[in-house]
Amino acid sequence: MPPISKPAPKSAAGSLASFAPWAAEGGVRVYLRPVGLLPIAAWSAGAAVPLAGGRFAFATAELIVRQGARIERAFAPLTEILAWGWERGTAVAQSLDRRLGALTRGRAPFGGLDLGRPRIMAIVNVTPDSFSDGGDFFDAGTAIAHGEAMLEAGADLLDIGGESTRPGSAAVSPEEEEARVLPVVRHFAAKGAVVSVDTRHARVMRAALDAGAALINDVAGLRDPGALPLVAEKAAPVVVMHMQGEPGTMQRNPAYEDAALDVFDWLEERVGACLAAGVPLDRIAVDPGIGFGKTVEHNLDILRHTALYHGLGCALLIGLSRKTLIGKLSRNEPPKERLAGSLAGGLETLNQGAHILRVHDVPQTVQACAVWEGLHPARVP
């Protein structure tokens, strides 16, 4: 760890001296959200720490302290934050140290993909009723042609789903889901493409992995009782997504005490369950679940706090392509006319270190990411 991770003398925490005096009490949680991100090469040696092993580094963070509904926030240099932690006692100091360690640890390849540059997960909906392109690629032949075009356009992996999880959608039986996705999974696995199966059913996960899928993308966060044991058994990488409620009802009245922190806490619990089951951090990606049981304001709060989720120590995936919030923030455009908003939101999350973007519009996203990489080189020229 670079020198900045070492606690400064206690007097250095002057600006935080009166911050959250109750932080040493029981039941307190602390969080770190990196801010002021700059390319690593822009910092002098020891002046900053890397974010998730990537191209950005930071020396300042938002310190958030929470005890139930009581929340305080402050921005300060890491040296002051760490010194403040030691002043509050060993438990707080150790919690901050764990948060900083998770934020700065390098990320191994996920699903065989190096995370040193943004990766694009292309959406292949083999469904009649998905919110954006339902029915466009419902039969296997059309879905395969669509996936081929996405790979040609530069997609890094294909996310193949057979059940719509749009707000208000009805559940699909695992048998029907398998009939929809397995021919497509087999086709792309046979040609060596990286294939993800988008499902919340353990039975479908097993069938897709046996058919050659490389990883699981579960909008339900492995809540099917058979899902987590299966992921551990198969040593399969998994994307764990947050969703409040079920697709059929999730948008009726979503409520949070603090959306960004509540989602973080839920994901942290699921990551802990994965670790306990024998699934290591390097095989876990987290997705805060934009649009899944969240209002526009909830979604915006989460997106503003994208960098916070690196504190889980995992790869970070963001899926906001064509989502409802884009239409509600502009002129209520239909899903296929939300490309500009999808790109704007996706690039903002890359500015906060997101590793994978899940998208519908692959050629345009590939082009946007190429420009973004040119503006944010891994090493400053």
pLDDT digits (tens, 9 = 90+) for 64-94: 999 989 999 999 999 999 999 999 999 999 9
Asked if the model's pLDDT at residue 40 lies above 60, the reply is: yes
Asked if the model's pLDDT at residue 32 lies above 70, the reply is: yes
pLDDT at 246: 77
pLDDT-wise least confident of 184-193, 218-227, 311-320, 370-379 = 370-379
CA nearest neighbour of 312 among 105, 113, 119? 105
315: tokens are 């790869």
Asked if the model's pLDDT at residue 312 lies above 60, the reply is: yes
In terms of DSSP bridges, do strands 157-161 and 284-287 run parallel, antiparallel, or are they unpaired?
unpaired
pLDDT at 253: 83
pLDDT at 134: 53
> What is d(CA 156, CA 152) in angstroms, rounded to the nearest whole number?
10
pLDDT at 324: 93
Instruction: Note the pTM of the prediction, 2 decimals.
Output: 0.92
Asked if the model's pLDDT at residue 136 lies above 70, the reply is: no
* Residue 339 φ then ψ, to 5°: -65, -50
Mean pLDDT of 276-302: 97
Mean pLDDT of 293-306: 97
Helix (H, G, I), strand (E, B) or coil at 315: strand
DSSP 121: E
Higher pLDDT: 381 or 25? It is 25
Residue positions annotated with a catalytic role: 323, 358
Q: Which residues contact 315 (CB under 8 A, 6 or more apart)?
A: 107, 110, 115, 284, 285, 286, 355, 356
Residue 309 corresponds to which amino acid?
Y
> What is d(CA 37, CA 63) in angstroms, rounded to the nearest whole number?
15
pLDDT-wise least confident of 239-253, 336-350, 356-370 = 239-253
